[in-house]
A and B are shown apart, each in its own frame.
Chain A
């Protein structure tokens, strides 16, 4: 069951209104309303663990969790040459942007979204350009972009993010994180994840979070900087290898008793255990720099 409302976006009058006649401005107003962005709001009642899929070529997508058992989709297309479809199939809501004619200019193929979902919702988002922002959603999530950045806050579940050039920031995330990119930078802040796999080619990777017992943290890039911050109370088994770059370490590591690393014959490598070695950290770079630094 869904309900929808079409709300014309506010149109700002110009100073010339005062001197213009009645007919002309009325026509102008009608024209402006029809050609301007059409804000569309739709509501869908859902059960537990709904799935929401979003396919959009370009635009800002903001998803937030709320306490209602419904999904609200507010979309704002950039032009009337495209249309946003939102439809419900069982416990799944599919949102997509499509062109209404074959001659749509690339700039017109843009729509912004504000979407509210139950916190246990599962998200599948595909957005080539613009930005994707998700907050407080605890279900599994898959986000794919080309140039769009991805910002996740207070997310959990199984999070997979794949970009080509877009950056990825994950703040206070939990669960399992897998992120890959070619040139995007990764910022993993205040994490409480037991499994992190992050790989970018030319981007930087910053990990500043907890190393949970039995957690595995794999950070890999080609160039750029991989930086890990640790606290005195952390406990991890560490392996850091940069084939042609540097490894800078501030942690007092001890040789691991339960370590099975083979010392690599190439590059700069560092192996060791910090405290009891409960978590496992692997960092690999081709010619980038790896920094293992104390947390401020």
Chain B
């Protein structure tokens, strides 16, 4: 099957969002990461928009009236169909294929204008949603990345801590006390840094402090172990 180009796929975008899935468009999406990403984003936007409160997204009738008047005034709507003719068209279309969701929304708006408005709206919605959506996605990625890198480290340090505690019991009491006090201090900082990172996963300053605290703990445990070996 000959696949279509990205430019050609754009023509399928609106029907695709309405549920139409032509085979050549499907084939293109399977091979084109760019268009696939665009569709994924649009579907995400669509899902997000549908999850909004219905009362909030349902514009009052006066808004549509005003919008229609504005479009007519600017010449973007060239025909005004009387209500009776409108009803007749509805009857005639009864046996025709289902009209698109944008078409039903603006039945009298010419399709090119509708497409332009649709794209403009998409861009606006994308801009509006890309921040929070990307932010959430990025935060989740950052958090996962941080946890992936620190979890094994944390486990190893905990294991080392359990071993080193038994080493330093015979050392100088002042040194032993200092090591334990500072270990507790570092543990406290690790906890606080982890809290900050969980709250703001993209906060590179908090992440740096967390990594440094782990480094300090590793250094401290090394010292404790070395001293333990020295006194045994």
Determine whether A185 belongs to the interface, using a CB cutoff of 8 Å to chain B.
no
Chain B, residues 178-194, CB within 8 Å of chain A (1/0): the string is: 11011001100100110
CB contacts (< 8 Å) of B174 on chain A: these are: 58, 129, 147
Give CA–CA (A129, B179) in the complex, Å: 11
Give CA–CA (A183, B186) in the complex, Å: 9
B197–chain A nearest beta-carbon distance, Å: 11
CB contacts (< 8 Å) of B205 on chain A: these are: 241, 243, 264, 266-267, 284, 286
Closest to B173 in A: A106
Are the CB atoms of B223 and A164 closer together than 8 Å?
A: yes
Determine whether B200 belongs to the interface, using a CB cutoff of 8 Å to chain A.
yes
Determine whether A202 belongs to the interface, using a CB cutoff of 8 Å to chain B.
yes
CB contacts (< 8 Å) of B177 on chain A: these are: 147
Give CA–CA (A38, B38) in the complex, Å: 83
Chain A, residues 142-153, CB within 8 Å of chain B (1/0): the string is: 000011000000
Determine whether A128 belongs to the interface, using a CB cutoff of 8 Å to chain B.
yes
Q: A109-B172, A266-B205 are in contact. Are A243 and B223 (CB under 8 A)?
A: no
Q: How many B residues touch the partner, as a band?
A: 20 to 34
Chain A, residues 96-130, CB within 8 Å of chain B (1/0): the string is: 00000000001001000000000000000000110
CB contacts (< 8 Å) of A183 on chain B: these are: 181-182, 185
Determine whether A37 belongs to the interface, using a CB cutoff of 8 Å to chain B.
no
Determine whether A222 belongs to the interface, using a CB cutoff of 8 Å to chain B.
yes
Determine whether B36 belongs to the interface, using a CB cutoff of 8 Å to chain A.
no
Are the CB atoms of A243 and B206 closer together than 8 Å?
A: yes
CB contacts (< 8 Å) of B170 on chain A: these are: 106
CB contacts (< 8 Å) of B213 on chain A: these are: 201, 222
A interface residues (Cβ-Cβ under 8 A, vs B): 57-58, 106, 109, 128-129, 146-147, 164-165, 182-183, 201-202, 222, 241, 243-244, 264-267, 284, 286-287
B interface residues (Cβ-Cβ under 8 A, vs A): 170-175, 177-179, 181-182, 185-186, 189, 192-193, 196, 200, 202-203, 205-206, 209, 213, 216, 220, 223, 227
